[in-house]
Amino acid sequence: GKVKKYLIDKISNNEKLHFSLLDPYKINSKDELKFIAKNLYDAGTDAFLIGGTLGVSKEKLDFVLSSLDDYEIPKIIFPSNINLLSEKADALLFLSLLNSDDIYYIIGAQIVAAPIIKMLQLEAIPTAYVIVGHGGTAAHVGRARVIPYDNFELAAAYTLAAEYLGMNFVYLEAGSGAPEPIKPEMVSFIKKTTNIPLIIGGGIRSTEIAIKLAESGADIIVTGNIIESDVEKAIKIIRGIKNTKYKGI
Ligand code: 1GP
């Protein structure tokens, strides 16, 4: 568990982490990718997360992974299905979509993927995936029974269940491009109930909201769309959360 250790060590050190989500379907050229990746790396992003729900072929995935070889941070696959597996990654979030109505996304895809992951010698990081609010394409495809933005108790119950199931992380997702991110108040409510590290993503477009989420207890902030549309904004988000500590608010 090299990558898991790298992440947990930083979190235990009270550091706030940032994941740069790159969607291979949305990346058009190697030059564009190199420009974005260098900027994010220099700003201090902690890992590249590679994934997307639609249009990701093995070729596109491998193209993105091999273009990131120059950087000394982990390349972690964020799989939407079993087509997102590659030996070129350092690890993958081994996700179970806990609030899916379809058993395939809870344990079906996982049993098909597990022997392949072993064969590829990929590090699998047990992660509960829980979709909140807007949900976006991930909720539609994953048949998620989304948790309303203001149902903090329900989100906390899922998170606690994930902790008792032995997951290492909980990824609370509002959906890529969501009009509203997860509320900082929800994160803070959950943080008071459980100890499990929280990954928060979906619809995070401003430094202010990223900082609020980190102060409320988000351990890892994920940004995707903003990286491709405005890398300068993504850089500000990274720098902003790096100066932030959990305030217990
Ligand atoms: C999606 O949480 C991520 O899975 C990132 O969302 O693209 O809205 O930043 P955005």
Confidence at residue 117, expressed as pLDDT on a 0 to 100 scale = 98
3-state secondary structure 22-69: ECHHHCCCHHHHHHHHHHHHHHCCCEEEECCCCCCCHHHHHHHHHHCC
Q: What is the mean pLDDT of residues 161-166?
A: 98
Instruction: With beta carbons less than 8 A apart as the criterion, state whether 86 and 120 touch.
Output: yes
Give the residue numbers of the binding site: 23, 53, 171-177, 202-203, 224-225
Confidence at residue 90, expressed as pLDDT on a 0 to 100 scale = 97
Residue 188: strand, helix, or coil: helix
- Reported ipTM: the value is 0.97
Spacing, Cα 181 to ligand 1 middle (Å): 9
Tokens representing 215 are 């102060």
Q: Which residue has the tokens 């392949």?
A: 116
Which atom belonging to ligand 1 lies closest to the Cα atom of 138?
4
Spacing, Cα 205 to ligand 1 middle (Å): 9
Our mutation pick for probing the ligand 1 site, out of 132, 204, 231, 237, counting the most ligand atoms within 8 A of Cβ, is 204
Beta bridge partners of 50: 22, 77
pLDDT in tens, 164-207: 999 999 999 999 999 999 999 999 999 999 999 999 999 999 99
Confidence at residue 249, expressed as pLDDT on a 0 to 100 scale = 64
Which atom belonging to ligand 1 lies closest to the Cα atom of 223?
9
Instruction: With beta carbons less than 8 A apart as the criterion, state whether 52 and 25 touch.
Output: yes
Beta bridge partners of 92: 77, 124
How far, in Å, CA of 84 to CA of 180, rounded?
A: 27
**For the domain with range 2-242, which CATH number is right: 3.30.1360.180, 3.40.190.10, 3.20.20.390, 3.40.228.10?**
3.20.20.390
Our mutation pick for probing the ligand 1 site, out of 45, 80, 176, 233, counting the most ligand atoms within 8 A of Cβ, is 176
Which atom belonging to ligand 1 lies closest to the Cα atom of 225?
7
Give the residue numbers of the binding site for sn-glycerol 1-phosphate: 171-177, 202-203, 224-225
Spacing, Cα 93 to ligand 1 middle (Å): 15
How many CB atoms neighbour CB 175 within 10 A?
24
pLDDT in tens, 118-150: 999 999 999 999 999 999 999 999 999 999 999
Our mutation pick for probing the ligand 1 site, out of 95, 173, 227, counting the most ligand atoms within 8 A of Cβ, is 173
Tell me which H or E stretch contains 207: helix 207-216
Residue type, 58: K
Could you tell me the pTM of the whole model?
Answer: 0.97
Spacing, Cα 203 to ligand 1 middle (Å): 6
How many CB atoms neighbour CB 115 within 10 A?
9
**DSSP string spanning 154-171?**
HHHHHHHHHHHTT-SEEE
Residue 150: strand, helix, or coil: coil
DSSP E strands: which ranges in the chain?
A: 17-22, 47-50, 75-77, 91-97, 123-131, 169-173, 198-201, 220-223
Give the residue numbers of the binding site for Mg(2+): 23, 53
Lowest mean pLDDT among 9-13, 100-104, 244-248: 244-248
Domain locations along the chain: 2-242
Tell me which H or E stretch contains 116: helix 109-120
Confidence at residue 56, expressed as pLDDT on a 0 to 100 scale = 86
Question: Which residues does ligand 1 sit against, CB inside 6 Å?
Answer: 21, 173, 176-178, 201-204, 222-226
Lowest mean pLDDT among 103-107, 180-184, 228-232: 228-232
Residue 181 CB contacts under 8 Å (≥ 6 apart), including other chains = 174, 200, 202, 203, 204, 205, 209, 213
Confidence at residue 55, expressed as pLDDT on a 0 to 100 scale = 85
Tokens representing 189 are 């409510």
